[in-house]
Structure 1
Amino acid sequence: MAICEQIGDPALAKGLIERKVVHIVTPGTVTDESLLDERRDTLLMTISRSKQGYGLDWADLAGRRSLVDEVDNEDAPEAEAALQTSP
């Protein structure tokens, strides 16, 4: 999804009026501070898999916090359950 603004002059246009993309908004990757709610966690997570387990990195884009962790394969189901969020 993108936010566009009209940049053409309607008085001079013949047909469609020129527009320009000013913000790109894709669910899960909103990083523009003007679009984030500081009172609510806006989490972005990356997962890196290895033979031994997983590397996890959480970033709270609104709160400007980050956490890095490692999880062994046998602990993965428990870690996944802890990551479940309410709707």
Structure 2
Amino acid sequence: MLQNGQHLTTVLQGFAGNPLAAKASVTVTAVQFTSPTTAQVTYNLCQSGTPALPNAKGQAVLENGTWKVSDTTLCALVALSNGGKAVPGCS
């Protein structure tokens, strides 16, 4: 689940058509709650099971009773893989 996913449709469609995205996975290694509705998450981003971005940091947010990946976390990852270029839907 993604915070503000409806505003990131272009990004999500790009993932759907990317063969590398199909081989990507994430393993959460730590969660630290910073408020009742936010958490700092440490995770390993893996490509075909091999850590490509170990011990990465991101945020999760609680919306309507569901924990979601924050839009800022996704946008930062996409910008990193996009050479720092602006990402449609990300501010």
For the criterion TM > 0.5, the same-fold answer is no
Quickly name the TM-score band, shorter chain normalised.
Answer: under 0.3
Larger helix fraction of residues? 2
TM-score relative to the length of structure 1: 0.23
Determine which structure has more spread, i.e. the larger CA radius of gyration.
1
Higher RCO, 1 vs 2 (CA within 8 Å, ≥6 residues apart): 2
